[in-house]
């Protein structure tokens, strides 16, 4: 479907991808993401199901073709499935892809209904296959629930991609096994560098692991061939000859891919952040709740295009404050 009012930013980047956070809450406490006593937002501040739907439709009318639902943990929100079903009805009618990023703990109960609503792929975050390390890293002993969720996704016919944050002294020695395991079950894997977003209990820089070093170590054991695939996202992919699988690297710290950025993010309170690493935002909730929501949304989206920065400026160093005070779980990862 062509769009007569596409979202194009000041650097001529066409924005077609929305990451929509449906909640800031989560049933895990990954130590690099949020503190154990994370302060969640009062429910009244969160957009209603109707508002999330209306906002998504306005975005689709402006040329957004891909929506990824995220959070916090999207599946902890009770009416989340209704939103997926409502958005699923837009597939083929402006929307080309509807996906979600989940920690997988509650996927076993929902995989089937997600697939029936039109979801074809899910990203599942899993940093370790070791039950003790998982429990320590996430604060919850729920590795088995995640593995069941992955099995359910396979059975429902959902393509699975595993996302793993590479963490020095936590999972670095285990990454080859995690990759072999995922490739063995037909799943792509993407490794991610930890980003300085929001205060946590530990010193993030102690666990920061630059991915070029990880790649070098993997190349001592495997042959990696660069792939031309570019999904418009920040991941750069290789084929691992020995496993046959695809491996992605997201390197916000060591390498910047902002020039091809095609995305915007909206928090569960309707704040559109033009960049994950920036503070530039427009308030879509105020627009939605105004007397003239259509006009106000239109105006806010145009403003977002004007303020989207050229690139982020992440920096991670011992003792330094996070680049942004917002946690990834707030902006929507
Ligand atoms: N709860 C869901 C999950 O974990 O998949 C969705 C939201 S979570 C914020 C999305 C992704 O962000 C996860 O893959 C998680 O590992 C990653 N993440 C969270 N905090 C991060 C940080 N500070 N740096 C890099 N990745 C982070
Ligand atoms: Fe929750 Fe995802 Fe953050 Fe882990 S990374 S605490 S699962 S929001």
Q: How far is the CA of 132 from the centre of ligand 1 (A)?
A: 20
Report the C-alpha dihedral over residues 331, 238, 134, 99, rounded to 10 degrees.
40
- Decide: 125 in ligand 2 pocket, CB within 6 A: yes
CB within 8 Å of 32: residues ≥ 6 apart: 165, 167, 194, 200, 202, 204, 207
Q: Which two tokens stand for residue 275?
A: 């960049």
- Decide: 103 in ligand 2 pocket, CB within 6 A: yes
- Decide: 164 in ligand 2 pocket, CB within 6 A: no
Residue 206: its pLDDT value, please? 84
- Decide: 267 in ligand 2 pocket, CB within 6 A: no
Its pTM stands at 0.94
CA distance 242 to 238: 12
Question: Which H or E element spans position 57?
Answer: helix 49-61
Residue 231: its pLDDT value, please? 60
Residue 254: its pLDDT value, please? 76
C-alpha of 305 from chain center: 21
Please report which ligand is nearest the Cα atom of 331.
Answer: 1
Residue 253: its pLDDT value, please? 75
Query: What is the DSSP code (8-state) at residue 238?
Result: E
Q: How far is the CA of 201 from the centre of ligand 1 (A)?
A: 16
What sign for the dihedral angle of Cα 267, 269, 274, 275? negative
Q: What Å distances lie between residue 158 and 115, 121, 182, 187, 245, CA to CA? A: 6, 5, 14, 10, 17
**Average pLDDT per 10 consecutive residues for the chain, totaling 333 residues:** 85 94 96 92 94 97 97 95 98 97 98 98 98 97 98 98 96 97 97 85 85 96 89 82 96 77 93 84 96 96 90 74 76 75
């Amino acid at each position: 479907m062509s769009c007569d009012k596409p979202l194009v930013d000041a650097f001529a980047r066409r924005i077609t991808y929305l990451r929509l956070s449906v909640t800031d809450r989560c049933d895990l406490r990954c130590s690099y993401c949020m503190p154990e006593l994370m302060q969640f937002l009062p429910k009244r501040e969160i957009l209603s199901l109707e508002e999330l739907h209306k906002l998504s439709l306005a975005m689709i009318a402006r040329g957004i073709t891909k929506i990824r639902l995220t959070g916090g943990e999207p599946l902890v929100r009770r009416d989340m499935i209704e939103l997926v079903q409502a958005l699923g009805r837009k597939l083929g009618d402006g929307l080309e892809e509807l996906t979600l990023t989940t920690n997988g703990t509650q996927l076993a109960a929902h995989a089937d209904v997600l697939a029936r609503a039109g979801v074809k792929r899910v990203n599942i975050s899993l940093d370790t296959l070791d039950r003790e390390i998982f429990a320590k890293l996430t604060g919850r002993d729920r590795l088995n629930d995640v593995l069941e969720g992955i099995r359910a996704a396979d059975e429902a016919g959902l393509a699975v991609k595993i996302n793993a944050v590479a963490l020095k002294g936590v999972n670095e020695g285990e990454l080859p096994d995690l990759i072999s395991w995922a490739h063995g079950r037909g799943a792509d894997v993407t490794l991610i560098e930890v980003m300085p977003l929001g205060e946590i209990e530990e010193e993030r820089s102690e666990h920061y692991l630059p991915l070029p070093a990880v790649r070098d170590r993997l190349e001592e054991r495997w042959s990696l061939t660069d792939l031309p695939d570019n999904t418009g996202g920040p991941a750069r992919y290789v084929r691992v000859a020995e496993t046959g699988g695809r491996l992605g690297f997201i390197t916000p710290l060591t390498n910047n891919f902002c020039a091809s950025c095609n995305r915007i993010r909206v928090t569960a309170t309707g704040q559109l952040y033009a960049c994950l690493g920036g503070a530039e935002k427009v308030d879509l909730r105020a627009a939605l709740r105004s007397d003239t929501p259509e006009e106000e949304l239109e105006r806010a989206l145009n403003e977002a295009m004007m303020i989207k920065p050229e690139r982020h400026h992440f920096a991670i160093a011992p003792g330094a404050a996070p680049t942004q005070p917002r946690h990834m779980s707030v902006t929507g990862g």
